Amino acid sequence: MLPKAVVQLCIVHMVRHSLNYVSWKRRKEVATDLRRIYQSATAEEAELRLGEFEAKWDAEYLPIGQSWHRNWSRLTPLSDEALSKLFYLALRNISQKWTMPIRDGKAALTRFTIQFADRISVN
């Protein structure tokens, strides 16, 4: 079909799958440690957090770390470029439904341009 397509595995489903191995008493604690992995700012930091997770939990829940390693390449493919494309498509779709100018749109664009100057090119 689309041989060059990159598909990211859904984090929500990955976490739910992981928590299937965990007793109800420990779910909140394990979920907090998993959150440290998927909320990491970089793939390198996420790998570090995964190692920390495994050091703490492998004795009790070995299949969780194994599953994250098995699926790692499908969990981390998104980039800033992909995120920009998603924003573009969302804005394009929603702007077709709006009949009035976006409230404070210029102020928002200015703020995004300042805050994300290294990621946004204004043409």
Q: Give the mean pLDDT of 25-49.
A: 93
pLDDT confidence of residue 3: 75
Q: Residue ranges of the domains in the chain?
A: 11-75, 80-115
Most confident segment among 10-19, 54-63, 70-79, 100-109: 54-63
Q: Give the mean pLDDT of 68-79.
A: 84
pLDDT confidence of residue 73: 86
Given a contact cutoff of 8 angstroms between Cβ atoms, the answer to whether 122 and 113 are in contact is yes
Q: Is the dihedral of CA 88, 90, 91, 92 positive or negative?
A: positive
Q: Give the mean pLDDT of 102-111.
A: 76
